[in-house]
Each structure stands twice: as C-alpha cells, then as structure tokens.
Amino acid sequence: MWLSIAFLIGQTMMYASPIIFTSLGGTMSENSGVVNIGLEGMMVVGAFTAATVGFYSGNPWIGFLAAGVAAGSFGLLHAVACVTFNADHVVSGIAINFLGPGLSYFVSRLVFDGATQTRSLDLANKIPRPLDPLFGSNTFFELVLNRYATAYLALIMVAVVWFLLYRTKIGLRIRSVGQHPEAADTLGIHVRRVRYFAVIGSGVLAGFGGATLSIAIVSQFRPGLISGQGFIALAAMIFGKWKPQGAVLACLLFGFSQALVVFLGLRTQAIPTQIMSMLPYLITLFVLVGFVGKAVAPKALGRAFGEDA
Amino acid sequence: MKRINALLASIVLLVFVGAGAFAAAEPEADDDTISVGMVTDVGGVNDNSFNQSAWEGLQRAESELGIEVSYLESGQGSDYGPNMDTMYDTGKDLIWGVGFLMADAILEAATANPDTNYAIIDFAYADTPDNLVGVVFAAQEPSFLVGYIAGKMTETGTVGFVGGIAGAVIDGFDYGFHAGVQYANPEVTVLRQYADSFTDAAIGKSIATQMYLEGADIIFAAAGLVGDGVIEAAREQDLWAIGVDRDQNYLAPDHVMTSAMKRVDSAIFQISATLQDGVFPGGETFLFNLANEGVGVAPTSDIHVPADLLAEVDDLSQMIIDGEISVPFDEASFGEMGYE
C-alpha cells in the first residue's frame, strides 16, 4: 500500500518534470504576448543537444546547459520572426516544429555515422540522482525521493519563474507588454527587447525540458523521444491560466494520471489498454471542465506590437 | 507589416514545397539495376529493433547483389500512405512496408499500382494480390526459448513481459514467452503489461520499474522503442532485461541477458534477391521460423547464460523444429496446449 503510493508519487514526478520546464517556458513567452507553439520543436533540439554534448563531454551538466543554449537560439529565431518582423506567431511556431527535429536528425547523422539516434550514456554520465545513496532499494522514501536532479530543478524553476514574473521589474514589464504593448511603450519600456528576453527564455526552458527526457529519464536521443510533450506543456500552461503555479499543478496532474495508467495496468487486466491510455487525457478534460474556471489569456497575445489593435 | 507577414508565410510554404519537390525528383533507377525501397513504421530506421534490422537486410542486398536501396521514415501513422506514393513515384521495383501497422496502406498501394511489387513484414493477408508478398515470423518460437532461459535464471520466482500494442504479432511474443517460462518452471509467476505504444520510452521505464518493485528480476519487452525504457530501468535497478528482434546486448551489455531475434534482415534480403532472379513470389505469404533460421536466440547469450542452459535451449530448439514441442501463439492455442 505505502509502496504503491510511493511509486505513484515518484512516477508522477518522472513524467511531470520535462513538461514542467517546458510549460514554464510557455508561461514566459505567452505572458509577454508571443504565442509559442514551437515548444515541441525546441524540446527536440534540447533533447538532441543534451544527449550529444553529454556523450562527448562526459559531463551531463554541460549537456544540460548546451541544450538550453541550442533551444534558446531557436527561441531567438522565433523572436526575430515574431517580434522584429511581426510574422504570424503560429506560422513561425509550426516552422520551428519542423525545423527543430529536421536539423537535429541532420546533425545527428553527421555526428553519429548516419544514425538519427545518439549513443547511450553510461549511468555514471547521466544527470545524477543526488539522494541515491541515502535510502535502501525500493523503500518508501527511495521510491518518492530518489529522483534525477532535474526533477528537483524543475520544481525550483517554478519558484524562480514565479518570482521573476511577479516580484521583479523585468517580470512586471513582461506582463505589461503582454497586456498592452502600446501603453507599455508610452511609459518608455522597450517592448521588443522585453519580448526578445521572454521568448529566448522560453526556448532555454523548453531545451531543459527536452534534456530532462534524453539524459535523465532515458540516456539517449532518438526520433520519437519527444512525441507531443511540448504540446502537452502548452496545454498545461493554458490549463494553469498562464501562471507558473497553475502550470505546474496541471503538469503534476497529467503526470499523476500517466502514473495511474501504469499502476492500474498491471493490476486490472479487465480494462483494455487502449481505454487505459486515454485516461490522462480524459482526467485532464474532466478537471478542466469541472474545476477550473474561465482562463483569460494575456490581452495582447498573438498580436504584433505596432499593428492596429 | 501585413505584407511582411504574407512574405514570411510564403517563404515558409516555399521551403516546404521545395523540400517536397526535391524528394520527388530523385533520379529514377536505370533499367538494368533493380531498385528496392522500404518505408519504416513509426519506430524509424534506427529503432534498435526490427526497422533497423530491415534496413540492414537491404544494405546487405546493396553490397552483395548490387541492388539500389533507399528508405523513408514515417513520423506518424498518417505518413504511411504518402511515403508509399513517394516510393512509387521514384520508380521502385519493389517497395517494402516494415510492420503490421502499415497493412492497410500497402494493400491499398498494391491494388492501385499493379505495375510495381510490394512486400510487407509481419502481416498475412487473407487474399493477397499478385504483386504483394507477406512475410510473417514465428515470433513465439524464440520467445519460448528466452522464456525458458528466464524461467531457469530467475532468482525471485517472478519475471515480466512488456508488450507494445496488443495484436497478432505481439501475441506471438507474449504467449510464446509465457509458455517457455512455464515449461522451464511452472512455479514462476509472469507479470504482463501492455504499454499501448511502440515509441514511449518513459512508459516502458515506468512499467518495468513497477514490475521490478513487484519482485520481477527479468523482464522481456516486445515493444519497439518502449523497450529502451525497460532496458533503462534494468540498468538503474541492476537487474535483467531480455531484448527483442535484434541482438540488443550492446544496448546494455551487463543487463541484457539474451534477445529473441526475428531475422527481418535475412527475410528482406532473400525476398529482394528473388526479384533480381526474376522469380518474385507475388501473392504468397512466407513464414520464417526456427527451421529456416528466420528466428532464434541472440548469439551474445553466452555472456550471461551458462553453457549447459544454452545446450538445453539448443535441444529445445531442435524439438520445436521436429514438432515434438508446439509453441502457442495466441490466447486460444495457449489454453489448448494446457498452459494457464
């Protein structure tokens, strides 16, 4: 009983941590008024970069940071298109969702002898599990707390992004350019500069999310590793009403329902697996309809600065 | 600014259309060399599993028979049809579909284009057109053998089976494995769970972690890329996994005990060769099994499995070939043969 609860909590964290990073990224970008559906593509770039750099440097943290840099540069690309050239945010995001995986596979083929799959890291070269030596195997605390460092980092990032958005000057500016960029402009805020910051930041966080999958949850990158997590993170962010604290709850709910599918799957053979695998989406839908009130997007979301409102 | 919007949108469109045009403009094959293409399922060509095995078979055909080969990867189910069309448009003499997920797409393409030959891995049609060949594997046979190894090697008395998407192909692995374990030791418990995916490594890891928690010490995964997650869990828990389709020991040399191999490479090589010889067996379905070495236990098994146990496995293998042991391949045959 206790072990089952511990297993559920632990697996919830495992599933949730990559999408927490990414949905925080989405929160930053969208609060500044820039729609970012390119999160999925940025996650792929991050996952690939982390696995590749981690493999060659032998240090997972260098890989992790490199993932932030690589995906952040896709954030820059998105910012150039949407902020400087006022391109349609959705079109640019879709382009990034094609470009990110395409470029990753292409570079992978160059680096790994024609394979779109990186070579797997040794356990010692993956993101460490800091609490690993503290607990005996398969005890309550081990199952709950023996997580990869990225899981803890994801929770810390929630507080960081919350603090940034609601307790700092730059956070206030991000939110104001997302609500009414023209008004912010008359107050002397560099609307485009603030949006650049937020969009690049969202790329960096999405890259961390991808890295969490490729060098903590598993130990290599391959096509299909990121299959929809970026979109789930986007949904979680909307579900969480464009707030970091809301988004993290949505991610945890989604992670919990995934863990529940695995937990029930072994115990009830009566329910077909196809029905079971719908569970996370059904739970999310019911909670969204039943318990979460109306979500209000930032007013200037998706609208270019300087265009007629 | 509206104009720049439109300009950017058209550039993006142009890039995609251009990419499509380039893909379609590959040179057509000369008349004297045969060209063979394959379309992977969602696993991709480097799945460490049967798509990769299929491509290895074609590469062998390229180097030994001088056949011109190429592949297209399918990112999702909706890519199967367009990939088939692209292959047809580039003038292939034979087009392979790798995996039962593509059964409908191939049948449709074969019916629409009677002037080209098609073949599919892991599917037998009730009524096969004359330009289509089905290839199926007796997956239950190697699964029975690795099940026997697991049943003998387990120290906890519990082993696990992780399946991808339930269906006729995975049933063979599932029931063959269960039967093998029972044949080795009826006291051993077999846990069974399906991921309902062939790509989600995280769910594979989660399922395997739970099975190890429930006391399993050896887990056999027949689930494509989901198996990567199972092997990852085996590494973390320092327990055993059993690989599938190819010899997967190299993925985790200390934790992959053995693998149930399906020689997709040799099937693809042999059938592509018939085309070159002008005796393509259109309309037929081929079964690859232990007797014709189309399936088997991985050669690296001798690293972790004791030699005397492997000798028993060889004897069992011979008994299966001779028909002294029949191996169940689905729920019905499993019950009929007295397993439970």
> Looking at the domain assignment, is residue B300 inside a domain?
no
Which tokens is A264 given? 């029930």
> Looking at the domain assignment, is residue B239 inside a domain?
yes
**C-alpha to C-alpha distance for B72 and B86, rounded to whole angstroms:** 9
- Residue range A140-179, pLDDT digits in tens: 998 899 899 999 999 999 999 999 999 999 999 999 999 9
pLDDT at position A294 is 76
The crossing angle, in degrees rounded to 10, of helices A89-111 and A60-79 is: 140
Per the DSSP assignment, residues forming a β-bridge with B295 are B262
pLDDT at position B24 is 42
**C-alpha to C-alpha distance for A212 and A214, rounded to whole angstroms:** 6
Query: Which chain B residue's Cα is nearest to A94?
Result: B12
Strand B132-137: give its sheet, edge to edge: B68-72, B35-39, B94-98, B117-121, B132-137, B285-288
> Looking at the domain assignment, is residue B151 inside a domain?
yes
**C-alpha to C-alpha distance for B337 and B182, rounded to whole angstroms:** 12
**C-alpha to C-alpha distance for B60 and B69, rounded to whole angstroms:** 10
Option in A81, A88, A123 nearest B235 (CB): A123
Strand B240-245: give its sheet, edge to edge: B189-194, B158-163, B218-222, B240-245, B256-262, B295-297
- Find the angle CA(A283)-CA(A285)-CA(A288) to the nearest 5 degrees: 105
| Chain A residues in contact with B9 (beta carbon < 8 A) | 87-88, 91
pLDDT at position A271 is 81
Cβ contacts from A onto B, under 8 A: 116
DSSP β-ladder status, B285-288 and B132-137 = parallel
Residue found by looking up tokens 């374990």 in the block: B181
Hey, what's the torsion of the CAs at A197, A200, A203, A205, to 10 degrees?
-40
Same domain, B181 and B314: yes
Which tokens is B72 given? 């297209």
Q: What is the mean pLDDT of residues A20-31?
A: 97
- Residue range A80-115, pLDDT digits in tens: 999 999 999 999 999 999 999 999 999 998 998 777
- Interface touch A87/B8, C-beta < 8 Å: yes
Q: What's the half-sphere exposure (Cβ side, CA atoms, 13 Å) at B76?
A: 4
- Residue range B2-49, pLDDT digits in tens: 555 555 555 554 444 444 444 444 444 445 689 999 999 887 787 778
- Interface touch B206/A304, C-beta < 8 Å: no
**C-alpha to C-alpha distance for B53 and B41, rounded to whole angstroms:** 13
Same domain, B284 and B321: no
The C-alpha of B81 sits at a distance from chain A's nearest C-alpha, in angstroms, of 19
- Interface touch A138/B213, C-beta < 8 Å: yes
Q: Which of A232-241, B21-30, B98-107, B129-138 has the lowest mean pLDDT?
A: B21-30
Same domain, B129 and B248: no
Same domain, B214 and B324: yes
- Interface touch B207/A266, C-beta < 8 Å: yes
Same domain, B200 and B326: yes
Is residue B1 scored above 60 in pLDDT? Answer: no
- Interface touch B166/A137, C-beta < 8 Å: no
Locate all alpha helices (DSSP H) within A112-168, ordered by sequence.
140-145, 149-167
Q: Which of A2-16, A273-287, B89-103, B310-324 has the lowest mean pLDDT?
A: A273-287
pLDDT at position B2 is 53
Q: Give the single-character DSSP code of A155.
A: H
> Looking at the domain assignment, is residue B6 inside a domain?
no
- The CATH class, in words, for A2-290 is mainly alpha
pLDDT at position B25 is 41
Sign of CA dihedral B98, B102, B104, B109: negative
Nearest Cα residue to B142 out of B315, B261, B319? B261
Which tokens is B139 given? 């997956």
Same domain, B123 and B162: no
Q: What's the half-sphere exposure (Cβ side, CA atoms, 13 Å) at A305?
A: 28
Is residue A291 scored above 50 in pLDDT? Answer: yes
For chain B, the domain total comes to 2
Average pLDDT, chain B: 88
Are B75 and B130 in contact, with CB atoms under 8 Å apart? no
pLDDT at position B22 is 43
- Residue range B48-87, pLDDT digits in tens: 788 889 999 999 999 999 999 999 988 788 889 999 999 9
Residue with the bigger pLDDT between A283 and B176: it is B176
> Looking at the domain assignment, is residue B321 inside a domain?
yes
**C-alpha to C-alpha distance for B112 and B98, rounded to whole angstroms:** 19
Q: What is the mean pLDDT of residues B295-304?
A: 94
Which tokens is A188 given? 């002397």
- Interface touch B8/A225, C-beta < 8 Å: no
Are B226 and B198 in contact, with CB atoms under 8 Å apart? yes
Residue with the bigger pLDDT between B16 and A21: it is A21
> Looking at the domain assignment, is residue B8 inside a domain?
no
Same domain, B316 and B170: yes
Residues of chain B numbered 167-196 and touching chain A (CB < 8 Å): 191-196
Is residue A1 scored above 60 in pLDDT? Answer: yes
The C-alpha of B271 sits at a distance from chain A's nearest C-alpha, in angstroms, of 25
pLDDT at position B141 is 96
Residue with the bigger pLDDT between B87 and A308: it is B87
* Amino acid type, B26: E
Report which secondary-structure segment, H or E, holds B245. strand B240-245
Which tokens is A125 given? 């070269």
Same domain, B58 and B146: no
Are A10 and A248 in contact, with CB atoms under 8 Å apart? no
- Residue range B185-200, pLDDT digits in tens: 999 999 999 999 888 8
A274: three-class secondary structure by DSSP: helix
pLDDT at position B132 is 94
pLDDT at position A114 is 74
CATH number, domain at B330?
A: 3.40.50.2300
Q: Give the single-character DSSP code of A120.
A: P
Task: State the burial class of residue A290 (Cβ atoms within 10 Å of its Cβ: 0-12, 13-18, 19+).
Answer: exposed
Q: Give the single-character DSSP code of B201.
A: H
> Looking at the domain assignment, is residue B7 inside a domain?
no
Same domain, B58 and B133: yes
Q: What is the mean pLDDT of residues B143-163?
A: 96
The total number of residues written for chain A in this structure = 309
| Chain A residues in contact with B43 (beta carbon < 8 A) | 224
| Chain B residues in contact with A122 (beta carbon < 8 A) | none
Give the other-Cβ count within 10 Å of B268's Cβ.
Answer: 28
Which tokens is B134 given? 């089905």
**C-alpha to C-alpha distance for A19 and B172, rounded to whole angstroms:** 36
Q: Is the ipTM of this complex over 0.95?
A: no
Give the pLDDT band of residue A307 (cuts 50, 70, 90): low
Range ranked top by mean pLDDT from A191-200, A215-224, B279-288 = A191-200
Is residue A44 scored above 90 in pLDDT? Answer: yes
Are B174 and B192 in contact, with CB atoms under 8 Å apart? yes
Same domain, B187 and B121: no
Average pLDDT, chain A: 91
B250: three-class secondary structure by DSSP: helix
Chain A within 8 Å of B6 (Cβ-Cβ)? no
Domain membership of residue B256 as a residue range: 140-261+306-336
Is residue A227 scored above 90 in pLDDT? Answer: no
Residues of chain B numbered 286-305 and touching chain A (CB < 8 Å): none
Residue found by looking up tokens 């720049």 in the block: B4
Same domain, B284 and B318: no
The total number of residues written for chain B in this structure = 340
Are B81 and B58 in contact, with CB atoms under 8 Å apart? no
pLDDT at position A135 is 84
Q: What is the mean pLDDT of residues A295-308?
A: 80
Chain A within 8 Å of B229 (Cβ-Cβ)? yes
Same domain, B165 and B234: yes
What is the distance in angstroms between the CA of the first residue and the CA of the last residue of chain B? Answer: 71
| Chain A residues in contact with B48 (beta carbon < 8 A) | 117
- Residue range A69-82, pLDDT digits in tens: 999 999 999 999 99
- Residue range B230-272, pLDDT digits in tens: 999 999 899 999 999 989 998 889 999 999 999 999 999 999 9
> Looking at the domain assignment, is residue B232 inside a domain?
yes
Is residue A62 scored above 80 in pLDDT? Answer: yes
